[in-house]
Amino acid sequence: MARIYNFSPGPSVLPAPVLEKAREDLRGWRSTGITVMEMSHRGKDFIGIAEKATADLRELLEIPQNYKVLFLAGGASAQFAAVPLNLLRGKTKVSYVSTGYWSEKAIAEARLFGEVQVSASGKESNFTTIPPRPQWNVDPDAAYLHYTANETIGGVEFQAAPEADGLPLVADMSSNILSRPVEVGRFGLIYASAQKNIGLPGLAVVIVREDLIGQALPGTPSTFDYRRQAAEGSMVNTPPTYSWYVAGLMVEWLKEQGGLKAIEARNIRKAEKLYAAIDALPFYSNPVDPAVRSRMNVPFHLADAALETPFLAEAKEAGLAYLEGHRSVGGLRASIYNAMPEEGVDALISFMREFERKRG
């Protein structure tokens, strides 16, 4: 199979060594005579895989002891509901910052369970920037403050965790978790669906401070109850075992790459050269405020939108695929997660220069 460079926003590219390891294990897990996807989640083999993945993730992200790490089904979308169900804790209000498509999704779901105060919104700028922190209006009675660390569609990324005025800070890190170091101790809860930087879809990783759990809203389904899931090792239901296993391989791979500081340095290099290529030619443009441009998802437009179709077709011919923008915004987008090699970004930049030379 000839590999191409896969710029898909998610499910997305996996590192070649992770695919190799998974392929090897498909011949049979150790001496069991079966594969990981065929084994019981309660058997000692899978428990070993799950515990190692959890321990490695704790080490990589330097997760303090007073945090639980959960591996739950339903992706980040299920967490849009689970977060208010678990974290309202007798309060009625929650504060959300809206920076684009995924914030809006999280807000809509939270409205099913509580009163949502939108503390700040980037809507006026068409979500091309993040309102400066001093302009936010955070309700001191809110149960928590929620933000989307990286907007996968709009390409807007917080470059640091915002100040939460003493409220538990909650972040959807689906599309930038493990792309840079984070200080977990500043957060009440971090969640991320896995299919961007942690492997396969269907899984969400939830990192939650212990004192925030145990007061779920009456009527909370047991699979959504963090206390129950924590007490039962994320196995109130059968977890997405294969996605959990691949998450373990991803974390192992990141440790081999030198950890989060090393991957961050590579991510900065990749993003900087791609934005520089876009900014260098009037033929291409990126609408996002340079101070908050995403290192993971780079949306861009062609000055002549009619050239997008040939751009995509010729890029695909050149082995550069899945560059279409999200259906809600159009244009083009290159997702350059941890697993996108630097050579992939270099190849895209060369292609863009060549396309401009021919068609510009």
Ligand X SMILES: *Cc1c(COP(=O)(O)O)cnc(C)c1O
Q: Is 119 annotated as a binding residue?
A: no
Helices 241-256 and 16-25: crossing angle in degrees, nearest 10, is 130
To the query of whether residue 225 is one of the catalytic residues in this protein, the response is no
Q: Pseudo-torsion of CA 179, 68, 81, 155, nearest 10°?
A: -10
Catalytic residue among 29, 102, 136, 244: 102
- Please tell me the distance from the alpha carbon of residue 102 to that of residue 80, in angstroms, as a whole number: 10
65-124 positions binding ligand X, by CB under 6 A = 75-77, 102
Each residue 246-265 as x (binds ligand X by CB under 6 A) or -, in order, gives --------------------
Q: What is the DSSP string of 260-297?
A: HHHHHHHHHHHHHHHHHHHHH-TTEE--S-GGGB-SSE
Each residue 16-45 as x (binds ligand X by CB under 6 A) or -, in order, gives ------------------------------
Type of residue found at 278? I
Q: Is the Cβ–Cβ distance between 75 and 202 less than 8 Å?
A: yes
Q: Is the Cβ–Cβ distance between 86 and 230 less than 8 Å?
A: no
To the query of whether residue 102 is one of the catalytic residues in this protein, the response is yes
Indicate the DSSP class of residue 72.
Answer: E
CB of 208 to ligand X, least distance (A): 17
To the query of whether residue 196 is one of the catalytic residues in this protein, the response is yes
Catalytic residue among 29, 136, 172, 253: 172
Each residue 154-173 as x (binds ligand X by CB under 6 A) or -, in order, gives ------------------x-
**355 near ligand X, rule: CB under 6 A:** no
Neighbouring-strand partners of residue 298: 334
| CB-CB neighbours of 170 under 10 Å | 26
How many residues make up the chain in this entry?
A: 360
CB of 350 to ligand X, least distance (A): 28
**148 near ligand X, rule: CB under 6 A:** yes
Nearer to ligand X, 129 or 148 (CB): 148
Q: Is the Cβ–Cβ distance between 5 and 320 less than 8 Å?
A: yes
CB of 201 to ligand X, least distance (A): 6
172-191 positions binding ligand X, by CB under 6 A = 172, 174-175
- Please tell me the distance from the alpha carbon of residue 218 to that of residue 210, in angstroms, as a whole number: 19
Catalytic residue positions, numbered? 102, 172, 196
Residue ranges binding ligand X (CB under 6 A) = 10, 75-77, 102, 148, 152, 172, 174-175, 193, 196, 201
User: Binding site residues for pyridoxal 5'-phosphate, as ranges?
Assistant: 76-77, 102, 152, 172, 195, 237-238
